[in-house]
Amino acid sequence: MREFEVPATYTIPENANMSDGAFRHAEKTPDLVVFNTPDGKGGWNDVTAAEFAATVTDVAKGLVAAGIELGDRVGIMAATSYEWVVLDFAIWAAGGCTVAIFDSSSAEQVRWILSDSATKLIVVQNDKHRATIAEIEGGLGALNEVLQIDKDAVAALIARGKDIDESVIHERRAQVKAASPATLIYTSGTTGRPKGVMLSHANLYAESAADRSAMPEFLQPGRKTLLFLPLAHVFARAVALAAFDAGVTTAHSADWSTLVEQFGAYKPDFILSVPRVFEKVFNGAKQKAHDDGKGKIFDYASDIAVQYSESLQNGGPNILLKLQHLVFDKLVYSKLREAMGGRCASAVSGGGPLGSRLGHYFRGAGVTIYEGYGLTESTAAVSVNTPKFIKVGSVGRPLPGHGAKVADDGELLIKGPVVFAGYWNNPEASADAFTEDGWFKTGDLGALDDQGFISIVGRKKEIIVTAGGKNVSPAMLEDSLRQNPLISQVMVVGDGQPFVGALITLDQEVLPKWKERNGIPADTPIEHLIENPALVAEINDAVAGTNKLVSHAEAIKKIRILPVDWTQEGGELTPKLSLKRNVVMKEYAADVDAIYS
């Protein structure tokens, strides 16, 4: 059994409270700009460390005035914003525990989270979220109050706490211990009720400290980033904390539809994202090149970028490759960097597999993506590629203070201070999550090389076993197919079936230009388009290319193109844009049956 550990470079104080960073910055660097907020005119206002700490203190006083006691749970159900961060820090400063709820959650999901956590107060974003709470609040005995961000929740809390002395907050902070719960994040799961992952202040402290130790090159004062992932998800929350603790300036956005324009306006030094956003950036650039009649140049430049990146792991590029790369850097790669704001030379990817080709392309084009791996139960990343230790296609080496090993059945096991202690009110599930000797069972199939780089092979519970007994991991097939600009989402099927098949949806943003390029009327409905020979042939070519990556038994033999796309709003995707396989299998059972009929 292979095992690899990296020594810790930090210690965790017994009284660690994640709100401490706000007061530390205010004391040592009061004029440091820690956040940018929209000014309503297309620009940004600066928020200094001193201003942020003062706001956190005032809101925390309001929470105390609202009856929040040490250890009480306070919910946030809102889009990513500066207010989300203020509330999070204020809850910690008041000695409370933040219950993070995705703003896309259904009423029934929210009912379970609020009742299981016994949340006392919740802050929502808008009328839509307030209506969701109204459906269920009658049966929630612990819930005393609902506040609304777009109806001045923050100002209302500040006004409520104006007569409370600041010393009360500092006394509260001092009562919090590193082992105290800092946040509850409920995992969706594939079966049964969501489980409340209980992350302590020590878990969050370790994640921030380890991230900063691993990536000091861009986690430092003077750098800035645009955060658009949901703060209810542990990935965005953890990296945002590391960035804040390091003095990085952060702006927030909840609009994913205009990210390229936002990158251009804000010009971040680095971004963190899920693989689907990087896929969309690449596919958008590729589609535009083909629409402009420059498709062959783009495709050749892409191959050179990949070759260049691969050569960096194999002794470096030769003279010819250097020259080709230099030419395309001016012609093609510079445009990609401009699409990401012009200053972005690095990015962090998590929440799902990036795919080695995409990783090599971006590095070859001058924007290195440092892919990491983790779960909610590991406070986000437990491993990550870094400027010092990088192997594209892997999810990096364990963070300082952490270890990984692969069990006899291929399951990746992890340990270290970012790993949670257990699920809220669920001792049975908590006990089942760990091996007898204390390693957390990730549920993912992994591999570990001699240098400690981890590769994720697939999901233990998502492995497809065909009728012929062949084990097939769907992730690589799906990742490969999504590199085609026409394809939005893919789900590989075939469990218990004679062969592997796939459901495929089309990218609605790409279709109009594709129709124009292929002489198809713009008003052609998608129901007719999915039967168009040219479109079917292009999708089949993508499938054929993907099938070259696997054995004959693992290859996709039959596909079904659907006349709809899968979305978070439709219930098929999670907030981090991962497939809800159980939902798709249920809703599209007839389409799966059609593959095998």
Residue among 111, 184, 181, 183 nearest 142 (CA):
111
Domain spans, the chain: 18-171, 210-406+452-458, 463-596
Q: Is residue 288 scored above 90 in pLDDT? A: no
In residues, how long is the chain?
597
Picking from 110-114, 316-320, 539-543, 571-575, which range would have the lowest pLDDT averaged per residue? 571-575
Beta strands in 201-264 (DSSP E): 224-227, 249-252
What confidence tier does 1 reach under pLDDT thresholds 50, 70, 90? Answer: low
Q: How far apart are CA 418 and CA 335, in angstroms?
A: 38
Per-residue pLDDT tens digits for 95-126: 999 999 999 888 888 999 999 999 999 999 99
Tens digit of each residue's pLDDT (9 = 90 or more) over 389-411: 999 999 999 999 999 999 998 99
CA 550 remoteness from chain centre: 28
Taking only the tens place, the pLDDT of each residue in 504-532 is 999 998 999 899 989 999 999 999 899 99
Query: Tens of pLDDT along 165-192?
Result: 999 999 999 999 999 999 999 986 544 6
Amino acid (one-letter) located at 140 = L
Cβ proximity of 386 and 211 under 8 Å? no
For residue 31, the SS3 value is coil
Alpha-carbon separation of residue 329 from 137, 205, 308, 321 (angstroms): 57, 40, 11, 12
Same fold, 18-171 and 463-596: no
- Provide the CATH number for the domain formed by 18-171 in this structure: 3.40.50.12780
**DSSP states along 391-425:** -BTB--EEPTT-EEEE-TTSEEEEESTTS-SEETT
Q: What stretches of 485-571 show up as alpha helix (H) in DSSP? A: 511-517, 526-529, 533-547
| Residue 81 CA to its chain's centroid (Å) | 16
Are 226 and 251 in contact by the 8 Å Cβ rule? The answer is yes
Instruction: State the Rg of the chain over Cα.
Output: 24
Range from 33-37, 49-53, 239-243, 279-283 carrying the lowest mean pLDDT = 279-283
Task: For residues 200 and 466, give the distance between their C-alpha atoms in angstroms, rounded to a whole number.
Answer: 42
Whether 477 contacts 502, CB under 8 Å: yes
The partner residues of 397 in beta bridges, in order of sequence, read 384
In angstroms, the Cα distances linking 361 to 92, 303, 447 are 41, 8, 23
Q: How far apart are CA 181 and CA 97, in angstroms?
A: 6
Pairing of strands 422-423, 411-415: unpaired
* Distance of alpha carbon 139 from alpha carbon 129, whole angstroms: 17
Give the CATH number of domain 463-596: 3.30.300.30
Q: Which DSSP category does 69 fall into? A: P
**Looking up tokens 């420059």, which residue turns up?**
294
In three state form, how does the secondary structure of 77-99 look?
A: ECCCCHHHHHHHHHHHHCCCEEE
For residue 519, the 8-state DSSP code is T
Cα–chain-centroid distance for residue 429? Answer: 24
Q: What is the mean pLDDT of residues 474-491?
A: 90
Backbone region of residue 164 per phi and psi (left: phi > 0; alpha: psi in -120 to 50; beta: other values): beta
Q: For residue 487, is pLDDT > 50?
A: yes
Is residue 108 packed enough to be buried (19+ CB in 10 Å), middle (13-18) or exposed (0-12)? exposed
Would you call 47 helix, strand, or coil by DSSP? strand
Q: Within 13 A of 136's CA, how many CA atoms are on the CB side?
A: 20
Q: Is the pLDDT of residue 359 over 60?
A: yes
Give the per-residue pLDDT at 189.
52
* pLDDT: which is higher, 279 or 64: 64
- State residue 483's pLDDT score: 87
From CA 531, how far away is CA 538, in angstroms rounded? 12
Find how far residue 354's CA is from the centre of its chain. Answer: 11
CATH class of the domain comprising 210-406+452-458 = alpha beta
- pTM (predicted TM-score): 0.85
Q: Are the C-beta atoms of 371 and 365 separated by less than 8 Å?
A: no
Residues 25-67: pLDDT tens digits? 999 999 999 999 999 888 899 999 999 999 999 999 999 999 9
Structure tokens at 349: 């990817």
Per-residue pLDDT, averaged over 555-580, amounts to 89
Give the CB-side neighbour count of residue 246, counting CA atoms within 13 A.
Answer: 28
Contacts of 487 (CB under 8 A, 6+ apart): 481, 504, 505, 506, 507, 539, 542
Q: How confident is the model at residue 275 (pLDDT cuts 50, 70, 90)?
A: confident
- Average model confidence (pLDDT) across the chain: 93
